[in-house]
Structure 1
Amino acid sequence: MSDPMAHRLIADLIDRVGEAAGAAAVRVDAAHEFEVAAGAGAVEVVALMETVVRIAQGLQADAVADLDARRRDFTGPSIDERELSRSLFAEIGLARQVSATAGETTYRLARDLADHPEAHAQLRDGVVNQSVVAAVCRETVFLDPARRAEVDAELSPYLAGLGPMRASAAARRLVLDKDPHAAFERTVRARQERHLRLRPELDAMATLSVYGPAAALTAAWQRLDDEASARRSDGDPRTIAQITCDLATEALSGAAVAPDGSTAIGVEVGVLMRPETLLGADDASADLQGYGPIPGELARQLASGERSWLRRFFTRPDGHRLETVDPRRRRFPAGVARMVRAADALCERPWCECRAREIDHTTPYARGGETTIDNAAGTCRADNLVKESRGWRVEQDPVGLRTWKTPTGHRYASRHGTGPAGAGASSPSAEMSMAVMSNGSVMEDRLRHLLTVARR
């Protein structure tokens, strides 16, 4: 069956990109010889590709708006709005190969652009980038559609010369002029979105960011900065930045930070590693739960603290799968949930990088799915609800490959825990997870020797 709207958007994309490419080619040919030698042609191609991205993003918003309208017509008014939204966010995320949260951002921008027709037109034409129009839409979110259209008309002539920060500030001034009360509503809404976020960085480091009310966080920062400055003045050899970081870490973890930045963690921090790595027979990488691969030597340091302990997951003879549990149980026991999170702490839905907070059945229990490790899946809360929504289904083949099927019939394979990204912690013998353990004993020395001999 043909889809006229989809064909129109595809044809529009081809026409607009073709025109932009033709204009760029003309500019390349018109450049002087010395400009070409300096790289003028390459610059034109860079600019062209940016224009192509902007055009595609503008038309993508049209496609998202069309998807929204069609899905609502298809499902009818009886469907719960939250279920419909989750389904749309997830499907857009899968189509873009990003998380459902990113899919929601794309969806909301498409909805907002309906009230900013001139900004949307400039995005389709490649005149402004998506960050600029998104900044304007965020600032006008509490205005009624008529006033949003007024802001759009007044601001659009200047957007091409603005970056996201200046566009946001300009839109905010117009919003305050048209509806001062909207500024207060913005602060109320923003406080409801406060959160804490952990982002892995290079070299076994991470960034912990706090999004909260500016007054409270400014006060917290000032307190840490004052204490760091005082300690520095008293002769602390660390820099103020290092002291500030260490003070914050101590306050949040409850553990003292050594001058070199190391911390004696007194709570369970899961590390997945080979027994040989644990006992020093090799230096294969390990996995720190919530972070990812870390050097084997660092994993052993984490395993040598005085307040640490060892947890072992017993596996089947193949060394890769946990022994099965009672298949008749409705809920997975805590040990299985630990194992699933140890194998991959992220949501199993393709391209979702949220934490796996829900451990549930791949084949639902209500449809005969058994409570076994092979049927256990770790997902974020949103995707656990999505896979139970109308038109969604998750299928698993005999080798464990899971496929997500969407209401539009698209299929996406879930490959978490396979290939180079997920193979670092697996071993032919057993998988081990620990927060930390005591220093080596005679028994451990003997086990290390036996493992070394067995591997030769």
Structure 2
Amino acid sequence: MKIYSNRIDGDARIDGDPELFLDPSDLLEPGEIPPPLELAELETTGAAHEAAITELEGIGVRARLLIADEYAGIANVLRDAAASPDPWVGPDPTQDHAWLDPQGRSTAVVRAERRNIAVRAAALELAVRLGISESMVRTRAAHADTLRERCPQIWEAFRAGRVNERNASSAAQQAATLPARSTDAWAKFDEQLAGSAQTLAPGKFRTRARVVRDRVHPEHIDERHKRAKDERNTWFQPEPDGMASFTVFTTADKVMLVQRYAEAHARHLRAQDGEERTLAQLRADVVLDLITRGMSIRTETSAWRARASVAITVPVMTLLGHDDEPATLDGYGPIDTDTARRLAGGASSWVRILTHPVTGTVLDVDRTAYRVPKALQRWLGVRDQVCTGPGCLRSARDCDIDHRLDWQYGGKTADTNLSPLCERHHVIKTKSKWVLYRDEATGAKWWVSPTALKVPVDPPPF
């Protein structure tokens, strides 16, 4: 029976007995996959827990191997799409000597666009087939390419199952921010992290990778900080039970200032008589109070009201208090009844849409908001709610209204021929071999990918 150990140096002893040494041939080599123990062997040893640990160790290695293979495969498909766009976007028109671009673009610009669209179309195909998001497909391809080029030692260990996915991703993220032609910095980064990528837990490795990246970066941090400031942004993430997360990415000094302000005020409030909220609750309330206080000042201008307009769909019986069917907040999903009634109570920055309590048919579309879209656009937003691209959750109000059959080919401006598509999926539909079909009898819609995969249009999420 082989004994498997993660130790790579020194002697291995059984149960700490100084007299019982293992033969080096009985140790698992780095990257070697532990095989499952036979039943007869389990009966001999009687160590079911040891067998389970050994089995899980083997499963872990095999899982890492498969994940690394997936990264490599995704990168290969997208790389091939860029090199050979025709299967994804059709024949190259620039090959025709009589061809002239209607927009007056050069051959080089058109071919570059074809490569870009081909990669987008291939990424969407992989996202559907693998059951992951397009952004994850692009991220995994980018990480594989970065590790292959800039961190060959870490890449080799990842492909051998010795580095977990989170450490590989952390290394790729940091290596990608090193200057494009600084091969010396790449080599130092790879050399200093190749060992710890195989041994450190993801949290510690992420910190170490960031420190090593700063240490080997040839550019001064002041210059890097100036560029990083341009990337500041915010993100909204829906959460269960009528909750949501709001993330701000900006300079550390401002974030620390807000955090310390929230902490100090939360502790002050916590010390007051009768205060029952926890520190965590108070910190959240203080930060939101700061933001909403600023919003209350800005709502005095009509322009702000237009930007803040949000739709809420409320079953009419819920609004009247005769039912508790949840309302739907545009861009989020179901919300609690009290909040729905409060928002539908007359605030001019909210668009109220009343639905039939049985059929769900739209009964009334509120037109008191500052900026009112056309009735057809409003109906499409109610019907589809989000982009009709495969897997996309971008709100319909932030999408283009696309003619399924192009206007120039006789497509009508009617709800049967219109659907919301975000900019990314609109471009893919228009310029790649992805095609959107509709059954005129049933109204069912589906996509067909460049590789002939049929993908039903996702139903509304709420």
Q: TM-score, normalised by structure 2?
A: 0.70
CA distance in structure 2 between the aligned counterparts of 1:28 and 1:190, rounded to whole angstroms: 57
Query: Does 1:131 pair with 2:166?
Result: yes
Q: Gapped runs of 5+ residues in structure 2?
A: 1-30, 86-91, 93-107, 297-304, 365-371
**1:201 match:** 239
1:66 aligns with 2:76: yes
* Among 381, 402, 407, the residue aligned to 1:365: 407
Residue 141 (structure 2) aligns with: 107
Q: 1:284 to 1:368 in 2, by over 3 A?
A: same
> Which residue does 2:446 correspond to in 1?
403
Match of 1:273 among 314, 326, 335: 314
The answer to whether structure 1 residue 289 and structure 2 residue 289 are counterparts is no
Query: C-alpha deviations, 1:208-249, integer Å up to 9, x for none?
Result: 111222112111222233333334445461434333322322
The equivalences for 1:41-440 within 5 A come to: 41-75=51-85, 78-80=111-113, 82-115=116-149, 116-141=151-176, 142-143=178-179, 144=181, 146-147=183-184, 148-181=186-219, 183=221, 186-235=224-273, 237=275, 238-254=277-293, 268-296=309-337, 298-304=339-345, 311-312=352-353, 320=361, 333-356=373-396, 357-361=398-402, 362-398=404-440, 399-417=442-460, 421-422=461-462
Q: What amino acid maps onto 1:285 in structure 2? A: P
- Taking the aligned partners of 1:304 and 1:40, their CA distance within structure 2 comes to 63
Evaluate the alpha carbon distance shift between residue 182 and residue 411 of structure 1 in structure 2; reply closer, same or farther with a 3 A threshold: farther
Which structure has the bigger radius of gyration?
A: 2
Q: What one-letter code is carried by the residue in structure 2 that aligns with 1:55?
A: L
Task: State the distance in 2 between where 1:249 and 1:28 align.
Answer: 59
Flag the 1:295–1:106 CA change in 2: closer, same or farther, 3 A: same
Q: 2:152, 2:81 → 1: CA distance?
A: 23
Q: Which ranges of structure 1 fall in alignment gaps of 5 or more residues? A: 1-19, 257-264, 324-331, 423-456
Report the AA paired with residue 169 of structure 2: A
Give the aligned partner of residue 260 of structure 1: none
> Aligned with 1:121: secondary structure?
helix
Kindly provide the CA deviation profile for residues 268-306 of structure 1, in whole angstroms up to 9, marking residues without a partner as x. Answer: 543323222222332223222222123446534544477
2:38 and 2:168 map into 1 onto residues whose CA distance is 27
**1:13-47 Cα deviation digits (max 9, x unpaired):** xxxxxxx99833138875575531xx444444544
SS at match of 1:25: coil
C-alpha change, 1:319 and 1:160, in structure 2 (3 Å) is closer
Aligned residue identity for 2:138: E
Aligned partners of 1:175 and 1:182 also within 8 Å = no
Mapped to 1, the partners of 2:422 and 2:222 lie a distance apart of 32
In the TM superposition, residue 136 of structure 1 has moved relative to its aligned partner by 0.9
Which residue number in structure 2 is paired with residue 7 of structure 1?
none
Cα distance change of structure 1 residues 125 and 201 upon mapping to structure 2, 3 Å threshold: same
Hey, what's the Cα distance between the residues in 1 that align with 2:63 and 2:378? 42
Q: One-letter code of the match for 2:66?
A: A
Inter-partner Cα distance in structure 2 for 1:295 and 1:208: 19
- Cα deviation for residue 139 of structure 1 reads 1.4
- Quote the sequence identity (%): 22
Structure 1, 219-228 or 339-348: larger mean CA deviation? 339-348
Cα 1:404/1:22, change in 2 over 3 Å: same
Q: How high is the TM-score relative to the length of structure 1? A: 0.70
Question: How far off its partner does 1:355 sit?
Answer: 3.7
Contact 2:34 2:54 (8 Å CA) reproduced: no
Q: 2:260 is paired with a residue of what secondary structure?
A: helix
Offset from partner CA, 1:301-329 (integer Å, 9 cap, x none) = 544477787734689x9764799xxxxxx
